[in-house]
A and B are shown apart, each in its own frame.
Chain A
Amino acid sequence: MKRLKTLPALRPRYRYVLFQVLSKYPFRFEHLERAFNSLLLSLFGELGVSKMRVKLLQNCFDEGKKLAVVRCDHRSVFSVLAILGLLYELEGHACTVRVLKISGTLKRTKEFKVRGE
């Protein structure tokens, strides 16, 4: 699909939040996405979520290390962090989230992930 042209000044400024889910049990991307989206909708509603431009990136998900990246608008980083704090259960198993890195480019986030800091 052809992408629409946008003026550079109107381009959204994204932030990428790299986080690790600390849990004893394995889980798939779909489980995380379902839990994350339902929390988003329940806390901010459809209108709020539409303004946040938030998306959990499937191609950055690491099932072994339980690492995931969420992309959002630069103004809604704290809202995304609040949502991650509310994530306490995945498929019936207790879990908690550890925020590793907040970056302005996906490249830096991936570099951080590879270095394993």
Chain B
Amino acid sequence: MKFYDLHVHAEVESAARLAAQLKYAGIGLIFPASELRHLDSLKERLKIGKECGLCLYLGFEAKNLQELTLLRKYRKSYDLLVVAGGSLALNRKACQTAEVDVLAHPGKGRLDPGVDCVAMRFAAEHKVAIEINFKEISGPNRLRALRNAREVVKLAQKYGTLLLLSSGAENEWELKDPYCMLGMAIQIGMEVREAKQALSSVPERIVELSKEKQSPSWIMPGVRVR
């Protein structure tokens, strides 16, 4: 089974080497929206993935609505569009936007999970994956993070939303073994099959959908040139 981690902020070379050691098939390196200016140099740096024998995906993170608008405009030039959740308005907007691939940590800094049933329905409709971030769970507010993750899992199971497990690593040592993430996912109420999918087939599908969005025939959600 191939495992993927689509939310890594760490330095490219060291993260790629450690991810290869942890037997990942691919990782998504996410940069802030301000790095969009250096798109070509970032693409060059990602070529190290071939040396390590894993696929590296380039992604950008929108932290507010302005950044989301900017990143939507250039959606065809990179692999992943991740929205850093936390505010209700941004979470809802991300779930309603088909260009978005992943809504990361929707409950960050909140007492509630950050997504309700309406947002979950929109996310399922627009194929936006909701992320369960391991960094949140291993952080100081573990109790709250576990409770929020449990709520997100319950809602996603009800509405059929894509669930994604990722480390959210900010340096290479925060990358986690896929089996450890699997273990934690089962603790928060996921079935073994669902947890495996959240680490393998869901990320594969996200990358597939993203490639579709990058193709020249794709104009905007629902519009395609034959």
Chain A residues within CB distance 8 Å of chain B: 22, 43, 77-86, 88, 94-99, 102
Query: Contacts A22-B18, A78-B187 known; A97 to B177 CB distance under 8 Å?
Result: yes
- Contact between A94 and B177 (Cβ–Cβ < 8 Å)? no
Query: Contacts A22-B18, A78-B182, A98-B22 known; A85 to B176 CB distance under 8 Å?
Result: yes
Instruction: Give a binary string over B159-196; 1 marks a CB under 8 Å from any A CB, 0 the rest.
Output: 00000000000010111110111111011000010000
Q: Which residue of B142, B174, B187 is within 8 Å of A79 (Cβ)?
A: B187
- Contact between B183 and A84 (Cβ–Cβ < 8 Å)? yes
- Contact between A85 and B18 (Cβ–Cβ < 8 Å)? no
Query: Contacts A94-B171, A96-B18, A98-B21 known; A81 to B176 CB distance under 8 Å?
Result: no
Q: Which residues of B contact A80 (CB under 8 A)?
A: 183
Q: Which of A79, A82, A88, A95 has the most CB of B within 10 A?
A: A82
A88 to B170, CA, bound (A): 13
Distance (Å) between the CB of A101 and the closest chain B CB? 10
Distance (Å) between the CB of A75 and the closest chain B CB? 11
Distance (Å) between the CB of A90 and the closest chain B CB? 11
Query: Contacts A22-B21, A78-B186, A81-B182 known; A86 to B177 CB distance under 8 Å?
Result: no
Distance (Å) between the CB of A92 and the closest chain B CB? 13
Q: Which residues of B contact A98 (CB under 8 A)?
A: 21-22, 177
A99 to B182, CA, bound (A): 12
Q: Which residue of B173, B179, B182 is within 8 Å of A88 (Cβ)?
A: B173
